[in-house]
């Protein structure tokens, strides 16, 4: 499959609204399109260093929670489980309170494989399986990393008391573990996109 640079000029219709974290190919820096900036999200108290993806997901989770009539007196906690597990906490008024950043599932597995002599470099499935204490090394690595991520999310939820939202590619691993423990949460894999669509 050929993965060429995008050609936004080929898209007909109104100017594009887009956001990015990190470096952007020059071909996308077209003055007729609008790159969404952190200030455009409208997340109160958001520090200048906050990633646009975190801001969009948090704003979307807040909006969805409000629309569902959820009790927001303790705020909203978004756990975006991707390359990095980012936790973003909003207060009862929807303002940014803070968060945590933890290496995600694949990053932790890669660190173990690259940082040790005896452990393999794992790729592929993130599923930790059902055995809590596996005998197989790869399964033990996956289970350990999944348990560590679950512990971070669980503790953040307990400390904040906030409505918990899951998003990101590894969210299903966390969702399964949270369900097993009867910990309430909402899962929406499209929180960042919903935040972006709301701004267009």
Task: Tell me how far the alpha carbon of residue 90 is from its chain's centroid.
Answer: 15
Going by DSSP bridges, is the β-strand pair 34-35/17-18 parallel, antiparallel, or unpaired? parallel
Distance in angstroms (rounded) separating the CA atoms of residues 135 and 54: 37
Q: List the 163-167 sheet strands across, edge first.
A: 96-103, 84-90, 76-81, 163-167, 186-187
Going along the chain, which residue ranges are E strands?
17-18, 34-35, 76-81, 84-90, 96-103, 163-167, 186-187
Tell me, yes or no, if 80 is annotated catalytic: no
In degrees and rounded to multiples of 5, residue 88 shows phi and psi of -125, 120
* CA separation for the pair 101, 149 (Å, rounded): 11
Catalytic position from the list 2, 53, 127, 136: 53
Give me the torsion for CA of 33, 169, 82, 53, rounded to 10°.
Answer: 30
Return the active site residues: 53
């Amino acid at each position: 499959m050929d993965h060429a640079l995008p050609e936004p000029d080929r898209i007909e219709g109104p100017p594009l609204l887009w956001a990015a974290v990190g470096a952007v190919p020059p071909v996308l820096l077209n003055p007729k399109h609008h790159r969404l900036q952190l200030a455009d999200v409208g997340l109160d108290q958001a520090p200048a260093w906050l990633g646009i993806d975190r801001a969009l997901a948090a704003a979307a989770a807040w909006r969805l929670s409000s629309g569902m009539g959820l009790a927001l007196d303790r705020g909203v906690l978004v756990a975006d489980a991707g390359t990095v597990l980012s936790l973003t906490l909003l207060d009862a008024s929807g303002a940014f309170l803070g968060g945590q950043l933890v290496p995600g599932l694949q990053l932790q597995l890669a660190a173990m494989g690259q940082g040790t002599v005896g452990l393999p470099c794992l790729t592929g499935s993130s599923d930790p399986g059902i055995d809590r204490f596996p005998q197989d090394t790869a399964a033990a690595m996956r289970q350990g990393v999944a348990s560590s991520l679950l512990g971070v999310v669980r503790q953040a939820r307990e400390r904040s008391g906030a409505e918990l939202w899951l998003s990101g590619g590894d969210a299903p691993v966390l969702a399964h573990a949270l369900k097993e423990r009867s910990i309430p949460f909402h899962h929406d894999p499209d929180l960042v996109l919903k935040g972006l669509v709301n701004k267009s």
